[in-house]
Structure 1
Amino acid sequence: MLYLSTEDVTMKLKTRLIIAFLTVILIPVLLTYLMVCGLSRYQINSIEKTYEITGTTVKSFANSMQVLSRLTEKPYHELYEMAKEDSEQLEDATCLEKFNKKLEKKKAYLLVRKGTTIIYMGTDIDNVNHVIPQLPSYGESGNTSENGVYLGGEAQALVKQVDFLYGDGEQGSAFIVTDVSNMIPEVQEFIVDLVMGILMVLVLTALLLIFWIYRAVMQPLGKMQCAAQNIKEGNLDFELRPAADDELGRLCRDLEEMRKRLKDNAEEKVKYDKESKELISNISHDLKTPVTAIKGYAEGIMDGVADTPEKMDKYIRTIYNKANEMDLLINELTLYSKIDTNRIPYNFNTLSVNEYFNDCAEDLSLEMESKNVEFGYFNYVASGVQVIADAEQIKRVIHNIVNNSLKYMDKSKGKINLRVKDVGDFIQVEVEDNGKGIAAKDLPNIFDRFYRTDASRNSSKGGSGIGLSIVKKIIEEHGGKIWATSREETGTTMYFVLRKYQEVPIHE
């Protein structure tokens, strides 16, 4: 048998979705935080090494203006010392050009003003057109010179100012100008890396969650799809094993229950078809014998063989008896159909045990006498005991059991005993015969439909093969049970019990 297991599902789908929701939120946030810390530390070290600064923090790194201000801290102090010690150097083009080269590495440039005239520009005129008009006047920056002054508008520059006096006493100012419209490459690289990292985290998280959900959902769904395909193709010989008590596990159990029911129905249908065919075969075979006899005796009458009143009477009685056999077979067939569809017509009444079984015994006594079979009746039940039963169906039970005994009677002097006993809450009925008996291996199956202890069929041991199965069905419908004991070559005893009728007192 094929086994389809869903053991990989270990938690409820609802729980998985909640975990997935929290994962989508928490993991990207956590990984982004760790990434920001790592990239910030890396870029800070890179900036400090490249621009020869120290003490840069994540907080200052997040403030691009502060970072740009710190880039020019060392050049500012050098410029300040130069102006203080030898202001004449600020008129030396070679010296200014050399200093400006240092500033270019810091993403800045130098402007020098004497009086109101710009005497040196460390960049193209186009870059300073908007800066020069906004440059602070001599002494205007004050204590903010080291930190720089921000020039807004179209200038977008950070300006650090060093004021000094030339040798001729004229006022001069040197400006370190940093363009803040564009971030330094390391900051841009940090932002790009951060964005790419966040995207990678989101993609990776999504892929992991998809894989996790796929394993949790698609694998059991795939097994259920395989099971559904097998059912569609009529292959019911497999088992779907749900291992988890979750939504998909319950769905697996429902699908497995459906498969079992379909398989049971299919097996029942095969069994029913087989039994129906066997029944038709049995009935056809058993009807053939009385029909042949009826035809034979009828032809004898027509041909004048029955030429005496005695022969005529014998032929007519034989035809009558064979017709009765046919009627019995047809009645069994009709009853079988009603049993199969649970439509046996029951008419339950309260019956006196003694009166009812005394009548049955009287009828059986006459029937057994006509068949040269000894009959004994023993009633051990006190008067007044009652049962609730269908009189006609219980009589059918007794007659079916007796007829079955007669069918397999192999003694020259047959004997059948009917006993009725009181066994507490039940009435026990026993039908004993001295027939050929039943083998121990066959005894558990004698109440099954069409079961025969003798596989061979002949006219003396015919029948539809459903007599005892009808008996069992009727007794079970009465709330009782039936069983048998037997010894080969000695005889068989059939037992069945019916519950007593007991009045329930009403307490007012």
Structure 2
Amino acid sequence: MTIKSRLRHSHIFMMLVPIILVAMIMLTLRFYFFEKYNNSNNVNAFEKITDGFENYYNYIVRQIDVTALTEPNKFEDSKFISEFNEEIEKNGYAIVIRKNDTIAYKSPIIKTLQIENGLEPFGFLPDKNNSAVDKTYLDESIVKLNQKDFYFEDGSEGSIFIYFRTREAISIINKLMLFIMIFIVVVLLTTLAVITYIVSKSIVNPLNKLSYAANEIRKGNLDYEVSVNCKDEVGELYQSFEEMRKRLKESLVQQNQYEENRKELISNISHDLRTPITSIKGYIQGIKDGIADSPEKMEKYINTIAGKADDMDKLIEELFLFSKLDLKKFPFNYQKIDVTEYLKDCVEELSFDLNKNNINLDFEYTEKKLFCSADVQQLKRVILNIITNASKYFYNDKGPKIVITLVDKKDNVEISISDNGIGMSSEILPNIFDRFYRGDSARNTTTGGSGLGLAICRSIIEEHGGIIWAESELGEGTCIRFTLPKVVGEFLR
């Protein structure tokens, strides 16, 4: 549930819960007082208000009807009348008893009112059922509710007039309204506090955990993980925070790795440049000391110096190329090529130099037309680097052979360059595409090379959208394979 939905539901609950609670309390109180009235003759003010005093009024009418029917002369008994009046007066009621045309009794609370001339004659009823309430206001605080007629035992006409003092009801209503208002306020505040606590706990607690996690990361503890099971905005924030933490950690690892690589690069460059420079300086010093005392020696020294200078130039060029590839700043000139025809041209061009070293270069392919998008110069550099590297590691007693194979795959073309050379051990194989890596532990110059050739190949192939890998067994030769995405029409697959 989202925070927005949670807040909306909490607002609904804050409106509904107090209403439901107030209604339940009111019904409970009403039921309680109703039962109390049914079980006793004492009816309290609450029931009078909730039922418009009708229950108690009906009770008075029943008492009068029963007494008038069974013992009408009790209305002449002062003790009975006083007790009856005392009971009803507690609830704001009063009576006037008339025998024939004479007022026999008047409740104390209306004794000062001059009401004799305003009394209806015997037999005057507002309806035939003798049950309607005819409200006649005597003043602002006294109202006449009804008139009950009967006969005394001697046949005299008797009438009982029922009155109600309204200020009693107003006082009770005011007290009850105050009670209800206080009760509603208490229920509202309690509901608001409970719901606010529940909602805030579900929001604030995860945010506190997130704040603690942020402080841990600020201290450099990128291993501190955060997790939450909710699927709202807070859960999304947790996921974003955790993703940020993982990326920061990866960035730090990469930064450390780059720093190590930088140190290794400087060390390797220093080593690979120092070796030819030291050799050049040695030969120059030999010339200065007169060791090259013949034209043949002088030529040899000069050719050696020139060769070392060429090695340095090639190393610097490869370093420059690898740096631009590594920084993704090398410009590639892609074009659609027929892979079969392109490789035929490469084999024809490379075979001339390889044959001088008694190395046989073959090409195995299918007649099917296969197209891909490639930078022809950089793709040629890949093939040349692999073949040059392979031509350095052959057995003297075997006929050196290199085979280029073109295979059609579903979405790619696969080019493999295999040889029957000395091969590589499984320990060496995973590292051959790392920069400055050489399989010979002594890093000698017998085979030459900068250690960047295969690293450059990997960068170029990956920029083309392909992958490159090696397969080899010690003593059985090596096969380096790479793929290039096919072109369908004018577009890459």
TM-score band by shorter chain is: 0.7 to 0.9
8 Å contact from structure 2 (residues 36, 43) kept in 1:
no
Give, in angstroms, the shift of residue 282 of structure 1.
Answer: 0.9
* Separation (CA, whole Å) in 2 of partners of 1:195 and 1:154: 27
In the superposition, relative to structure 1, how do residues 386 and 30 fare at CA in structure 2: closer, same or farther (>3 Å)? closer
List aligned pairs for 1:2-401, cutoff 5 A: 11-13=1-3, 15-17=5-7, 19-49=9-39, 51-52=41-42, 62-67=50-55, 69-70=57-58, 72-73=60-61, 76=64, 84-85=72-73, 89=77, 97=82, 100-109=85-94, 122-123=107-108, 131-132=113-114, 136-137=118-119, 139=121, 142-143=124-125, 147=133, 149-151=135-137, 153-158=139-144, 177-183=163-169, 194-241=180-227, 243=229, 245-348=231-334, 350=337, 352-365=342-355, 369=357, 374-381=358-365, 389-401=374-386
8 Å contact from structure 2 (residues 96, 105) kept in 1:
yes
8 Å contact from structure 1 (residues 419, 431) kept in 2:
yes
* Separation (CA, whole Å) in 1 of partners of 2:64 and 2:451: 118
CA-atom RMSD, angstroms? 4.7
Q: Deviations over 1:384-423 (max 9, x none)?
A: 978664343233223433454467x485679753323343
SS of residue matched to 2:238: helix
Q: Deviations over 1:297-334 (max 9, x none)?
A: 22223333323222222222222111122222212221
Give, in angstroms, the shift of residue 291 of structure 1.
Answer: 1.4
Give, in angstroms, the shift of residue 42 of structure 1.
Answer: 0.9
**What TM-score does the superposition give when structure 1 sets the normalisation length?**
0.74
* Separation (CA, whole Å) in 2 of partners of 1:120 and 1:189: 32
8 Å contact from structure 2 (residues 75, 97) kept in 1:
no
Greater mean alpha carbon deviation, residues 195-204 or residues 324-333: 195-204
In the superposition, relative to structure 1, how do residues 272 and 292 fare at CA in structure 2: closer, same or farther (>3 Å)? same
List aligned pairs for 1:492-503, cutoff 5 A: 492-496=478-482
Give, in angstroms, the shift of residue 439 of structure 1.
Answer: 1.5
8 Å contact from structure 1 (residues 289, 459) kept in 2:
no
Stretches of structure 2 that go unaligned for 5 or more consecutive residues are: none
Give, in angstroms, the shift of residue 32 of structure 1.
Answer: 3.3
Give, in angstroms, the shift of residue 40 of structure 1.
Answer: 0.6
Give, in angstroms, the shift of residue 253 of structure 1.
Answer: 3.2
Give, in angstroms, the shift of residue 378 of structure 1.
Answer: 2.0
Give, in angstroms, the shift of residue 227 of structure 1.
Answer: 4.2
Letter in 2 for 1:390: D
Which structure has more relative contact order (CA 8 Å, sep 6+)? It is: 1
8 Å contact from structure 1 (residues 416, 431) kept in 2:
no
Q: Deviations over 1:262-306 (max 9, x none)?
A: 333332222222222211111111111111112222222333332
* Separation (CA, whole Å) in 2 of partners of 1:494 and 1:315: 38
Equivalent residue, structure 2, for 1:419: 403
SS of residue matched to 1:430: strand
* Separation (CA, whole Å) in 2 of partners of 1:455 and 1:17: 68
Letter in 1 for 2:347: F
Letter in 2 for 1:155: S
SS of residue matched to 1:64: coil
8 Å contact from structure 2 (residues 400, 420) kept in 1:
yes
* Separation (CA, whole Å) in 2 of partners of 1:102 and 1:383: 122
In the superposition, relative to structure 1, how do residues 106 and 422 fare at CA in structure 2: closer, same or farther (>3 Å)? closer
Q: Deviations over 1:31-73 (max 9, x none)?
A: 433322211111223345564479x998x76343424534643
Equivalent residue, structure 2, for 1:8: none
* Separation (CA, whole Å) in 1 of partners of 2:421 and 2:189: 88
Aligned length: 477
8 Å contact from structure 1 (residues 134, 151) kept in 2:
no
8 Å contact from structure 1 (residues 420, 427) kept in 2:
no
Match of 1:434 among 396, 404, 421: 421
* Separation (CA, whole Å) in 1 of partners of 2:114 and 2:39: 32
In the superposition, relative to structure 1, how do residues 255 and 98 fare at CA in structure 2: closer, same or farther (>3 Å)? closer
Stretches of structure 1 that go unaligned for 5 or more consecutive residues are: 1-10
Greater mean alpha carbon deviation, residues 294-303 or residues 23-32: 23-32
Same amino acid, percent of matched pairs: 32
8 Å contact from structure 2 (residues 43, 56) kept in 1:
no
Letter in 1 for 2:119: S
